[in-house]
Structure 1
Amino acid sequence: MALGTVFDIAGSGMNAQSVRLNTTASNLANAQTASSSIDQVYRGRHPVFAAHYRDSMELGADSPASAAQAGVQVLGVVESDAPLQPRYEPHHPQADEEGYVYYPNVNVVEEMTNMISASRSFQANVEVMNSAKLMVQRVLTLGQ
């Protein structure tokens, strides 16, 4: 594996964790939004990641991108299928005809845990990039 590949892997990891932080922030921002209809209530969103690796042998020697490619791929963002939270609040302005208000299926504690984990994962990828940069700088000074 070339040293340049380390930057690609760490960069894709940082990108994936940015997506994770953004979806977590969206979930937290909408955690207490109320709705009178099950169809209109916000549903928690979660990113789906996959490890991505293509060997240089798969690409072919004459390919312009003949180096190995690896990293994290963001497959998409899916809505949570956890049950919504109906609450009996007959005096709420958005209550339906039966007195129920529907809240998102977002667990604030779980989302805060996701935010801390994503933040630390992002920082770990930053440290990998800094270490690789330092190694490249030290290799360049060997010739002096």
Structure 2
Amino acid sequence: MSDPLSATLQIAASGLKAQSDRMRIVSENLANARSTGEASGDDPYRRKTITFESEFNRVTQANLVAVKGIGTDKAPFTVEYDPGHPAADVDGYVKMPNVNTLMELADMRETNRTYEANLKVMTQAREMVMRHIDLLRN
């Protein structure tokens, strides 16, 4: 059996890593929310997605979270009328990325809160370890 505090730190650390990766994906999506193709007929930026999986750590006997994969959203592109745009088709329509900025901002907020929660767990576990060490000194 492993040390519960060590397992707690491993779980929280894996959560921090996963949410950090998720924040990177959300940031990329927001940064490219208006990135169109360069020429007529080119596809614009396609929204990225991230999936997670549970990963068992035999040393700590804990289930950790890990990034399973980064994919792309298959949702259709939207179109906007902008005949002067270099990527406009013959009718003047431009394919726009399938990124919904409102949804990405909601994902960013959720990611931030989850990251903070994992950070708080790590801080509290570290404080418990320090108290344990102080008790052993006395």
> Does TM, scored on the shorter chain, surpass 0.5?
yes
For 1:45 and 1:84, the matched residues in 2 are separated by: 13
Matched, 1:37 2:30: no
**Residue of structure 1 in register with 2:116 after alignment:** 123
3-state SS of paired residue (2:35): coil
| Structure 2 counterparts to residues 79-90 of structure 1, below 5 A | 79-90=72-83
Matched, 1:18 2:20: yes
**Residue of structure 2 in register with 1:76 after alignment:** 69
3-state SS of paired residue (2:8): helix
Q: Deviations 1:122-142 (Å, cap 9, x if unpaired)?
A: 111110000000111111111
For 1:32 and 1:96, the matched residues in 2 are separated by: 17
Residue identity over aligned pairs, in percent, reads 36
Q: Deviations 1:53-87 (Å, cap 9, x if unpaired)?
A: 25x5xxxxxxxxx4414210101111001110112
Moved over 4 A (4+): none
Contact 2:6–2:60, Cα closer than 8 Å, also in 1: no
**Residue of structure 1 in register with 2:11 after alignment:** 9
**Residue of structure 2 in register with 1:53 after alignment:** 56
For 1:128 and 1:37, the matched residues in 2 are separated by: 49
Could you tell me which amino acid in structure 2 is paired with residue 112 of structure 1?
L
Structure 1: tracts of 5 or more residues without a match: 57-65
Q: How much has 1:93 moved relative to structure 2?
A: 2.7
For 2:105 and 2:8, the matched residues in 1 are separated by: 29
More moved, 121-130 vs 69-78: 69-78
RMSD: 1.5
* TM-score, L = length of structure 2: 0.88
Could you tell me which amino acid in structure 2 is paired with residue 74 of structure 1?
V
* TM-score, L = length of structure 1: 0.85
Q: How much has 1:21 moved relative to structure 2?
A: 0.4
Could you tell me which amino acid in structure 1 is paired with residue 134 of structure 2?
T
Aligned length, in residue pairs: 133
Contact 2:19–2:111, Cα closer than 8 Å, also in 1: yes
3-state SS of paired residue (1:50): strand
